[in-house]
Each structure stands twice: as structure tokens, then as C-alpha cells.
């Protein structure tokens, strides 16, 4: 079978970075081809070149054997190449339907947008996708997961021949991800070629026919899924064996660092109480939308509390803003790095020190050398791939943006650290680093609350696990008692046993 799409000797240089160095890729019709590699390996850059966002410095793209050079995404789409980007590009202030059909809204005889038709068309494609949202809703009112589904629906509705998905499931629940994977299988069965980027090995092995590995902007190899395994792929990605993904469990203590008593958020009837002990990693499991992030945000003062008490070291504290929370020694790494975490236009250095400005200032002055030490320390510790600490965060790869956010919250040296999906979009090697870093924080006496939708991560990391269902804590398990099955049952509202 002749290839549907070929990338031949693609090279792309950014100031200070050789992002792609003579990279190859071949996609057959009807094939699902995974592209993997560490954060910053060049995956998104290659996909952006194939879809007309960037132009390669050298190399060739062939579609059905013919050389093409799409000058922009619209041209690529006209050639039949569509992409779902890693970062959401939906317009929050427009409706779902307007987001799905940008630029080709149906019009009436007077040239005005025919909203009735627009909403009907949108309903149809949403139904095909199995997405239960109102096409009239403003996108900003949707959950991140639904926004991502709209993003995907938008590209799928173009009927492209080559479909590129760059980490499409990073904000989806397992159920939603499964539905998407089934849909992709159907599309492939109809001859669509799919390039699929993911850090989730489970998905890659369940979905892909072949996998291509990039490392440091170079092509390492392509394997048939049936003839390879996760260990081999990891070795190709990072150049060595990784060993255990999870550190040993903690020693625990019975000093309560944080206590939450009958906390009620606005708009939720549930009263939540729990304790976080010194040196412990407390996992929060639950379905997306079960109220874990909202509870965390209420504790951190990012959302109002309607009732209840928060105690730190046994003393009640009145935290009404994130600023006050930070002053009390709390940190919160939010799940949505773009909206609530990072200043994309600012440097790595300024982001790392954003929450900690006091720590780097001696006698009221921010000393340049202290600033540098702090930022460099986290760039090294977290292995952030950047030409330097002055680089704007928007120029980092997705995973390296996430690592910068982790650095920002480590830098305040919190006593209580809440991390919300801390390893989302992070490659296996760095994921392991972050796991061990969180454990060493806990071992030094910090109390860590870890919200994660990845069950193996919750089980692998936590000393104790709380499971939320519909806004309330519905179950508690010790590390020894917890199993995936018990957690899933509790999270979906069934009794744990
Ligand atoms: N617009 C840009 N300006 C400067 N450097 C960039 C730009 N886009 C990407 N880079 C750099 O190119 C390299 C490859 O980035 P890319 O986004 O392709 O990585 P990736 O494999 O998609 O990583 P991730 O898994 O983290 O998403 C990185 O070192 C990144 O910092
Ligand atoms: Mg990327």
C-alpha cells in the first residue's frame, strides 16, 4: 500500500533550539500511528509542520505521493489534513456551534447567519460524537473535558483524510477517552489515516498499529505495536531503563497538619471533613466533576466557602484568597495550567518566582543572583527543556510548561501542597521524577494532597485515599486496602464493598 502521508528529512530550528533534525514519518491509509517521545522531543512541532502551522526549514511532505507545502492550517485542511491541537483553541465567548463551524457558518438569503441551521448542524455532529452538550451554550460555561470534546468535534466535522490528534485525551475521563478511541477506530476503518500523540501507553497499545519514537528532535525508529512492548518504547524514548515509577510509601505520622471540618461550598449541599497528616500523601480519587478540584479551591481560598472550618496545625485559619493561603504556607497547583497557573508571556524565571517573590528578595530588593539560582535549580531538578530561564513559557513544549508550573509551587516551600493532576501531559521519565519529588517533600514533613484521575497514580503514590462522589467524600481507603475496583465503585456511587 502506498503511504497516505510522508514526512521526509524534516528539519526545524527555533532560536536556541533544534526542534527537529532530519525526522521521518510515514502514515498509511486506515492506519492509526502513534508518535511518542519525551517532553520537548519535537512531536507537536512535527504535527504543526504537517498541518501548515509552521513551515519546515528543510525536508519534504508528500500526500499520496505528491509533494505539498501547506502555507497555513486552512490550506492543509483543504488538502484533507486536520489537527486537534494539544492546547485548547476554542473561543470561550462563542457558542458551541460557532466554535464547531468557524468560518463556514450557514447563512440565509440576506447573508445573515442562519442560527437555526447552525444549531441543527451542530446538534447532528455532537450526536455523532456522543457529546451531550447544548450547541447554544457558551463554551466558557463548559468543563475543560467538554471544551476538549468540542475541539475534537470541530476537527472531525471537516471530514479530513489525515487526522492528527495531539494529546486529545489529557483532560478526558476514561469513559470519554474510550468513546473517542472507538470513534477513531471507526474512522480508520473507513480509510482515514490517524496520527496520535499521547504519553499514555495504555491508549497507544490499545489503539495504534504502529508507533514512531522521537528523541531530542531526532527520529529513533518505528515499530509495529504487535512486535513491541512498553519497556522497549520507553528505552527508545529516554535511552535507558526507568525502573519503578513509584517511590516507597511514607512513614506517616499522627500530627494533623490540615483539618477541614464540615466545609460546604457554594452551590453544593455536601459537608466535607477530613484531616491531612504531616508527611503524608493523601490521594483524592473520583470522576471528573466529582468536586475534588472545587473542594481544593475552596480550601485554598480560590472559591468562597459557605460554611465550615479550616484548621492549620490545630488552629482555625480564615483563608479568603489564594494570597492568604500562600501566606499560611499552602500551595495549590491547579489542573488547568493555562487559565490559573502560568503567565505564558513571561519567562520561566518569572513564573517560577511568581508565588515566591518574597523569598528571592533580600531587604526588599529582588536580587538578580538569587532569582537566577532559584529558577535554575528547578529547571535542573525538573529537567525542564528550555534554552534558558529567560525563555517565554509559551515557547516551551506542553509538558515543559507543566513542569514549570510544578517548579513554581515547589519554590514557595509550602507546608501543605495541593497538586491537581500534577503529571498531566508529562512524559514517563519526568512523571517518575515528579512522583519521587512529591514523596521527598512528604518525607521532609510536608502534607501533600494529590488529586489525580489516573488510578494507577493514585494507588502508586498515596498513603491514604479519599474518594469523592457528587461533591462529597464517599469513602476512605488506606494504601493497603485500596484497589482500583473499590475506588471505581465508590467513585460511581456504589458502596465500596
Ligand atoms: N514557538 C516556539 N519557539 C521556540 N521554541 C519552540 C517553539 N515551539 C517549540 N519550541 C521548542 O521546540 C522543542 C520541541 O517542542 P515540541 O512542542 O514539539 O515538543 P513535544 O514533543 O510536543 O513535547 P510535549 O510532550 O511536552 O508536548 C522544545 O524544545 C520547545 O521548547
Ligand atoms: Mg507537544
Residue 46 Cα: closest atom of ligand 1: 18
State the burial class of residue 232 (Cβ atoms within 10 Å of its Cβ: 0-12, 13-18, 19+): middle
Nearest of 307, 271, 299 to residue 474 by alpha carbon: 271
Give a yes or no: residue 374 inside a domain: no
Q: Check whether residue 189 and residue 233 sit in a common domain.
A: yes
Residue 339 falls inside a structural domain: no
**Which of 12, 17, 18, 167 has the most ligand 1 atoms within 8 A of CB, as the residue to mutate?**
17
Q: CA–CA separation, 440 vs 247, rounded Å?
A: 9
pLDDT of the residue at 339: 66
In short, whether 50's Cβ falls inside 6 Å of ligand 1 is no
Alpha carbons within 13 A on the beta-carbon side of 58: 5
What ranges make up the beta strands (E) of 266-421? 272-277, 281-286, 305-312, 315-317, 330-333, 361-362, 365-366, 416-420
Alpha carbon nearest to ligand 1 atom 18, residue: 42
Q: How far apart are CA 403 and CA 110, in angstroms?
A: 51
Q: Do residue 129 and residue 60 come from a single domain?
A: yes
What pLDDT does residue 172 have?
81
What the block records as the C-alpha cell of 481 is: 486496602
Distance from the alpha carbon of residue 404 to the mean position of ligand 1, in angstroms: 14
- Annotate 22-51 with DSSP letters as a single string: EEEEEE-TT-EEEEE-STTSSHHHHHHHHT
Closest-approaching ligand to the CA atom of 38: 1
Question: Could you tell me if the CB of 397 is within 6 A of ligand 1?
Answer: yes
| Three-class SS state of 126 | helix
DSSP H helices, 337-483, are: 348-353, 357-360, 368-381, 398-411, 428-443, 455-461
Ligand 1 atom closest to Cα of residue 48: 18
Q: Which residues contact 452 (CB under 8 A, 6 or more apart)?
A: 283, 284, 285, 421, 422, 423, 458, 461
From first to last of the 497 residues of the chain, give the pLDDT tens digit. Answer: 789 999 999 999 999 899 999 999 999 999 999 999 999 999 999 999 999 999 999 999 999 999 999 999 999 999 999 999 888 888 989 999 999 987 767 777 777 778 888 899 899 989 887 788 999 999 989 887 788 889 888 988 888 999 999 998 887 877 888 888 988 998 999 999 999 999 999 999 999 999 999 999 999 999 999 999 999 999 999 988 888 889 999 877 899 999 999 999 888 889 999 999 999 999 999 987 889 999 999 999 999 999 999 999 999 999 999 989 998 999 999 887 776 678 889 999 988 887 666 554 545 555 666 667 788 888 988 889 899 999 999 999 888 998 899 888 888 889 999 999 999 888 998 899 899 989 999 999 999 999 998 899 999 999 999 999 999 999 999 999 999 999 999 998 886 44
Question: Would 356 be classed as within a structural domain?
Answer: no
The residue contributing the CA closest to ligand 1 atom 24 is 39
- Given the CA of residue 41, which atom of ligand 1 is nearest to it? 21
CA of 166 to the centre of ligand 2 (A): 7
Residue 357: inside a domain: no
Residues 70 and 136 in one domain: yes
* Whether 300 and 211 share a structural domain: no
* Residue that finishes a domain, picked among 238, 268, 285: 238
What is the C-alpha separation between 255 and 294, in angstroms, rounded?
Answer: 25
140 and 263 together in one domain: no
On whether residue 144 sits in a domain, the answer given is yes
Nearest CA to ligand 1 atom 12: 19
Contact (Cβ atoms closer than 8 angstroms) between residue 84 and residue 151: yes
Do residues 213 and 36 touch, judged by C-beta distance below 8 A? yes
Q: What backbone torsions phi and psi does residue 174 show, to the nearest 5 degrees? A: -55, -40
User: Does residue 398 have its Cβ closer than 6 Å to ligand 1?
Assistant: yes
Which of 7, 21, 45 maximizes ligand 1 atoms within 8 Å of its Cβ, making it the mutation to test the pocket?
Answer: 45
Residue whose CA is at the smallest distance from ligand 1 atom 31: 396
Both 228 and 306 in one domain: the answer is no
Any idea what the CATH number is for the domain that residue 448 is in? Answer: 3.40.50.300
- Helices 398-411 and 368-381 sit at what angle, rounded to 10 degrees? 120
What pLDDT is attached to residue 373? 78
Structural domain of residue 287, as residue ranges? 256-329+414-491
Note whether 267 and 219 are same-domain residues: no
Can you read off the three cell numbers belonging to residue 380? 535542573
Contacts of 282 (CB under 8 A, 6+ apart): 274, 276, 447, 448, 449, 450, 462, 463, 464, 465, 466
232 and 261, same domain (yes or no): no
* Total domains in the fold of the chain: 2
Q: Is 399 in the pocket of ligand 1 (CB under 6 A)?
A: yes
Is residue 283 domain-shared with residue 418, that is, in the same domain?
yes
For position 371, what pLDDT does the model report?
Answer: 67
Contacts of 492-495 with CB under 8 Å at 24 or more apart are: 492/287, 493/469
Q: For residue 3, what are the contacts with CB-CB under 8 A and spacing of at least 6?
A: 26, 27, 28, 62, 65
End position of a domain, from candidates 203, 238, 273: 238
What spacing in Å lies between the alpha carbon of 197 and ligand 1's midpoint? Answer: 14
Could you tell me the end-to-end alpha-carbon distance of the chain, in angstroms, rounded to an integer? 52
- 305 and 195 in a single domain? The answer is no
271 vs 468: CA distance, rounded Å = 12
Could you tell me if the CB of 37 is within 6 A of ligand 1? yes
Contact between 8 and 219 under an 8 Å Cβ cutoff? The reply is no
Task: Note whether 234 and 158 are same-domain residues.
Answer: yes
Q: Which ligand does the CA of 45 lie closest to?
A: 1
Are the CB atoms for 158 and 82 separated by under 8 Å? yes
Same domain, 79 and 226: yes
Q: Does residue 29 form part of some domain? A: yes
Q: Please give the distance, rounded to the nearest whole angstrom, from the Cα atom of residue 492 to the centre of ligand 2.
A: 32
CA 107 and chain centroid, separation: 37
Does residue 31 lie in a domain region? Answer: yes
Output the CA 8–ligand 1 centroid distance in Å: 19
- Is residue 473 one of the residues assigned to a domain? yes
Query: How many Cα atoms within 13 Å fall on the side-chain side of residue 90?
Result: 29
Of 238, 265, 285, the position where a domain reaches its end is: 238
CB of 198 closer than 6 A to ligand 1?
Answer: no
Amino acid at each position: 500500500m502506498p503511504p497516505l502521508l510522508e514526512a521526509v528529512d524534516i528539519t526545524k530550528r527555533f532560536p536556541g533550539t533544534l526542534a527537529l533534525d532530519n525526522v521521518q514519518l510515514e502514515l498509511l491509509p486506515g492506519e492509526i500511528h502513534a508518535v511518542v517521545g519525551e517532553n520537548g522531543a519535537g512531536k507537536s512541532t512535527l504535527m504543526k509542520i504537517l498541518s501548515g502551522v509552521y513551515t519546515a526549514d528543510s525536508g519534504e511532505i508528500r500526500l499520496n505521493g505528491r509533494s505539498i507545502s501547506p502555507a497555513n492550517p486552512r490550506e492543509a485542511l483543504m488538502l484533507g489534513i486536520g489537527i486537534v491541537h494539544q492546547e485548547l483553541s476554542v473561543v470561550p465567548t462563542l457558542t458551541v456551534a460557532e466554535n464547531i463551524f468557524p468560518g463556514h457558518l450557514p447563512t440565509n438569503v440576506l447573508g445573515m447567519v442562519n442560527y437555526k441551521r447552525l444549531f441543527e448542524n451542530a446538534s447532528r455532529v455532537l450526536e455523532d460524537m456522543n457529546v451531550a452538550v447544548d450547541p447554544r451554550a457558551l463554551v466558557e460555561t463548559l468543563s475543560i473535558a467538554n471544551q476538549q470534546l468540542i475541539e475534537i468535534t470541530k476537527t472531525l466535522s471537516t471530514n479530513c483524510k489525515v487526522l492528527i490528534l495531539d494529546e486529545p485525551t489529557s483532560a478526558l475521563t476514561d469513559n470519554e477517552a474510550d468513546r473517542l478511541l472507538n470513534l477513531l477506530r471507526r474512522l480508520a476503518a473507513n480509510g482515514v489515516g490517524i496520527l496520535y500523540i499521547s504519553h499514555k501507553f495504555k491508549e497507544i497499545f490499545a489503539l495504534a498499529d504502529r508507533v514512531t519514537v522521537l528523541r531530542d528532535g531526532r527520529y529513533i525508529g518505528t515499530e509495529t505495536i504487535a512486535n513491541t512492548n512498553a519497556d522497549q518504547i520507553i528505552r527508545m524514548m529516554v535511552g535507558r531503563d526507568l525502573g519503578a515509577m513509584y517511590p516507597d510509601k511514607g512513614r506517616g505520622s499522627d500530627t494533623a497538619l490540615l483539618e477541614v471540618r464540615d466545609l460546604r461550598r457554594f452551590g453544593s449541599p455536601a459537608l466535607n471533613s477530613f484531616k491531612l497528616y504531616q508527611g503524608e500523601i493523601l490521594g483524592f480519587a473520583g470522576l471528573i466533576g466529582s468536586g475534588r478540584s472545587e473542594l481544593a479551591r475552596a480550601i485554598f481560598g480560590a472559591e468562597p466557602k459557605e460554611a465550615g472550618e479550616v484548621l492549620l496545625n490545630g488552629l482555625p485559619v480564615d483563608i479568603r484568597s489564594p494570597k492568604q493561603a500562600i501566606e499560611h504556607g499552602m500551595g495549590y497547583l491547579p489542573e488547568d495550567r493555562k487559565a490559573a497557573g502560568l503567565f505564558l508571556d513571561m519567562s520561566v524565571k518569572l513564573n517560577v518566582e511568581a508565588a515566591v517573590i518574597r523569598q528571592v528578595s533580600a531587604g526588599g530588593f529582588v536580587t538578580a543572583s538569587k532569582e537566577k539560582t532559584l529558577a535554575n535549580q528547578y529547571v535542573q531538578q525538573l529537567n525542564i527543556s528550555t534554552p534558558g530561564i529567560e525563555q517565554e513559557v509559551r515557547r516551551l513544549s506542553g509538558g515543559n510548561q507543566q513542569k514549570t508550573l510544578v517548579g513554581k509551587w515547589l519554590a514557595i516551600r509550602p507546608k501543605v501542597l495541593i497538586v491537581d493532576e500534577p503529571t498531566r501531559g508529562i512524559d514517563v521519565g519526568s512523571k517518575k521524577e515528579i512522583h519521587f519529588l512529591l514523596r521527598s517533600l512528604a518525607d521532609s514533613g510536608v502534607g501533600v494532597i494529590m488529586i489525580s484521575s489516573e488510578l494507577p497514580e493514585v494507588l502508586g503514590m498515596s498513603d491514604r485515599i479519599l474518594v469523592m462522589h457528587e461533591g462529597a467524600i464517599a469513602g476512605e481507603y488506606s494504601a493497603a486496602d485500596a484497589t482500583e475496583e473499590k475506588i471505581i465503585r465508590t467513585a460511581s456511587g456504589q458502596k465500596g464493598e
